[in-house]
Structure 1
């Protein structure tokens, strides 16, 4: 008997017990749908992280002091990260295109009776290009604003919407730490980067932030929280890291090698990708347990089927069917159950992921390899868990099988 005849007989046997076959496939269906969904969410998270880092700005480096160095700076009056360091990097490091020193703090920002806490960034005009921001209205902070310590502010779109929902914010006054600032510009929306909302911030001149908002002082110069740096191109990022670290060691002779933290966009993205990939594998592994449970269900049902069909098996053997024919028939039934359940599961998984991405902000990405692997695993599970019932059926003595009926 050829495979086609066995396939027809397997389909007939499955259709003869539609409810039982459907319930058997349910475990495989749930397993496949879970795997597709978990992998889609994980890969969507990776894609979202990559997009967010690209929006952060190309070839960006962030220079700061480690927490241990910050504690020593506060306690021993050691030299902090300074505005002069940023200026030296811009002047002496050839692989650097732009440098934007930053002073970061949280302050109360208010207009009328509206008041809330918001991140305040004191910086220079280079910040706009280094951080890859765009303006939708007005202008950005310039060198004159920093020289004169002007009380001007550029608002993120979220703050602008909260303070000025129905009016043009340009030229309006807001209060930061109970000091009036004129709104001169509005940033374009940029979204969130992990737990940091890029649209919820107010930007003021660095000197204004230093002397009028934070009051941070140092006998060594103007202290800054962070230095954002734009390398000239992708190829110069590694060279820029090396040159910046060497320069800072010259400017801060007492600084240990691990005190200076230089983070690149690529390094952060690689870390995020590794984390997301590990999480995706873990979720897929957990979801795969459903496939294993479904496979056990297939084996149980096939064992029941063998018991119920002993007369049929004995009759086929009496008519000349070999052990190989019987084995092949029951194997085909088991694999068919698993593959059909897998196909339905893929459909449910893809449909669920598509609907979820349409009705929510959930980031998802359908993975063709995960679909192929899921279906292959389903078929393999059907084959693996179908071997024992099929061998049991093939080894039945035809005389005993006919008498047992």
Structure 2
């Protein structure tokens, strides 16, 4: 039998049973759409994370207390970095341009009858340039504020809106831990990144936070939560990391495991890319299960079709149809079901990715590889799961088939 004739007969049979064919394709559609959407969303998450880390600058380093092993095994953050460490890095490491130590805490911030819990970030004037932040109105922390432990604050724009609505907050007084602070500046919007939202942060001179809000908790000096620093240029980042590690080992008299960790923007980006790639692969694998289930649905329906069409098969074989003709027709029917399901599933997945991109910060993208693989797999599933019922139909004895009718 001609292949084109087999395709026409298969299409006619499937159209004659619209509801059954549609329900059979549904499993393939859901599987394809899930795979394409999950891969696209996963790649969007990876791209978003990359953009957020790249916004930090290619030459930014972060020094945090405790080794990686210590931070993974203890709930309490080690207290091994002090303000003098930051000053030593600024004066003794030639490849470092600027250093910005910081102390983080959460406190209740009150303005008149409004209050909210917010992150209090004590830092220095270099924080702006190290972290690529800008001031919208007013000013940032000055060296004079740090020397005098002035009770002044800069607000993130979202926090300023929450506390002051449309009122100009510059010059107003708010309270933190029952202490009065004057608002001297509003930061430019930065956007949240990895659970941290600088737009809802209160920026305070680091000495003010240490002396009047959290107190001094380290016997070795003024304890800091982290130290951000910028290398002179991107090429100096590796040298800066090496020099900072050696300096801190000398200052902390370390012979064994480090009590600090130095990470670059590239290190953090590598970690995040590894995590997001793993999650994308896991989500795609879970979604692919529905493709397998859809294939089983195709085989089930084709087996039912063989049973229902026993008389037709017997009649065709009685008038000269070969086993190969019957085999090809049923395989073509299964492939058409799977390929059509794959096509509609691709359209559904692409539509889902477009909606995610339009209504969320994730810049989800359509992966041509995922589309090709999903459609190919769905067609292959039809071929694979269609073989068993097709062989069963081809092997039917025409006399038995006509009698059973």
TM norm structure 2: 0.91
Structure 1 position 377 matched with structure 2 position 377: yes
Gap runs ≥5 in structure 2: none
- Aligned CA distance change for structure 1 residues 365 and 255 (closer, same or farther; 3 Å): farther
The equivalent residue for 1:227 is 227
Alignment of 1:236-255 (within 5 A): 236-254=236-254
Q: How far is the alpha carbon of 1:212 from its aligned partner?
A: 2.5
The equivalent residue for 1:139 is 139
Structure 1 range deviating more: 356-365 or 201-210: 356-365
Structure 1 position 272 matched with structure 2 position 272: yes
Structure 1 range deviating more: 175-184 or 119-128: 175-184
Q: How far is the alpha carbon of 1:311 from its aligned partner?
A: 3.0
SS of residue matched to 1:103: strand
Q: How far is the alpha carbon of 1:219 from its aligned partner?
A: 5.4
- Give the distance between the partners of 1:79 and 1:398, measured in 2 at CA: 85
Alignment of 1:87-98 (within 5 A): 87-98=87-98
- Aligned CA distance change for structure 1 residues 219 and 66 (closer, same or farther; 3 Å): closer
- Give the distance between the partners of 1:151 and 1:20, measured in 2 at CA: 73
Gap runs ≥5 in structure 1: none
The equivalent residue for 2:355 is 355
CA RMSD after TM alignment: 2.5
SS of residue matched to 2:313: helix
Residues 83-111 of structure 1: CA deviation (Å, up to 9, x unaligned): 22112212222332221111222223221
The equivalent residue for 1:400 is 400
- Give the distance between the partners of 1:198 and 1:267, measured in 2 at CA: 22
- Aligned CA distance change for structure 1 residues 62 and 218 (closer, same or farther; 3 Å): same
Q: How far is the alpha carbon of 1:38 from its aligned partner?
A: 2.3
Residues 311-347 of structure 1: CA deviation (Å, up to 9, x unaligned): 3323333444332222111111101100101111121
Contact kept, 8 Å, 1:79 with 1:220, in 2: the verdict is no
- Give the distance between the partners of 2:238 and 2:315, measured in 1 at CA: 76
- Give the distance between the partners of 2:375 and 2:50, measured in 1 at CA: 29
- Aligned CA distance change for structure 1 residues 28 and 80 (closer, same or farther; 3 Å): closer
- Give the distance between the partners of 1:315 and 1:232, measured in 2 at CA: 85
SS of residue matched to 1:146: helix
SS of residue matched to 1:262: strand
Q: How far is the alpha carbon of 1:360 from its aligned partner?
A: 5.0
Contact kept, 8 Å, 1:38 with 1:283, in 2: the verdict is yes
Residues 277-328 of structure 1: CA deviation (Å, up to 9, x unaligned): 2222222222222111111111111112222223332333344433222211
- Aligned CA distance change for structure 1 residues 255 and 223 (closer, same or farther; 3 Å): farther
